[in-house]
Amino acid sequence: MPTVRLTRAIEFSASLRYCRADLSAAENERLFGADAARHGHNYRLEVTLRGEPDAVTGMVIDLKELQTVLDREIMARFDHRDLNGDTPYFEKLAPTPENFATVIHRLLLAALPEGMLDRIRLQPESGVWVDITEPESRP
């Protein structure tokens, strides 16, 4: 069955350093190199939803509603924040693109209507991105 997908993109800026609290500064630097020093990114996040367009509105989701979720779950938590100091997610994990995308995916999966999240794409800088795709579970 063909499926409708829609993608909304947002951008936010955050600082970070790759750092595991269980390691010494020297060990972190050996493991993560230049990324162990504090730096920042303009992140681009694409959120793709899938579903049946509503019979009346013709929408899978009202984009205002989606933006409200993205503002609350992503922008309020991460925009102009320090991922290590201002969020609870990276005390044990380094905020690599893979780990950060996993956190974002978990937040959006819980916040969006069930079965709607299709894919997120997190791009920390040009030329690098992480995709997390939800398998289609519907019959």
Partner 1 sequence: MISVTRHYEFPAAHVLAHPDLSDEDNGRIYGKCANPNGHGHNYGVDVTVTGPIDPESGRIVEPKLVDELFADEILARFAHRTLNDDSAFRERVPTAENIARAIYDLLRPAIERRSTARLVRIGVRETGKNTFAYGDVA
| Interface pick for partner 1 out of 12, 18, 78, 89 (rule CB under 8 A) | 18
Minimum distance from residue 105 beta carbon to partner 1 (Å) = 8
In the shown chain, the binding pattern of residues 46 to 65 toward partner 1, with x for contact by CB under 8 A and - for none, equals: --------------------
CB-nearer residue toward partner 1: 57 or 126 = 126
Q: Residues 6 or more apart from 32 whose CB is under 8 A from it?
A: 18, 19, 94
- The whole-angstrom separation of Cα 103 and Cα 117 is 14
* Residues 22, 20: Cα–Cα separation, whole Å: 5
DSSP conformation class of 23 = S
Query: Which stretch in 8-16, 40-48, 57-65, 91-99 sits in contact with partner 1 by CB under 8 A?
Result: 91-99
Closest CA to 47 of 123, 139, 135: 123
Task: Find the Cα–Cα–Cα–Cα dihedral 12, 88, 84, 18, rounded to 10°.
Answer: -100
Nearer to partner 1, 87 or 102 (CB): 102
Give the residue, chosen from 94, 103, 107, 108, that forms a contact with partner 1 under the rule CB under 8 A: 94
Residue from the set 2, 58, 88, 127 that interacts with partner 1 by CB under 8 A: 127
* Residue of 50, 59, 87, 102 interacting with partner 1 (CB under 8 A): 102
Q: Which residues contact 13 (CB under 8 A, 6 or more apart)?
A: 40, 41, 42, 43, 79, 80
Binding site for partner 1 (CB under 8 A): 18, 31-32, 93-99, 101-102, 126-133, 135
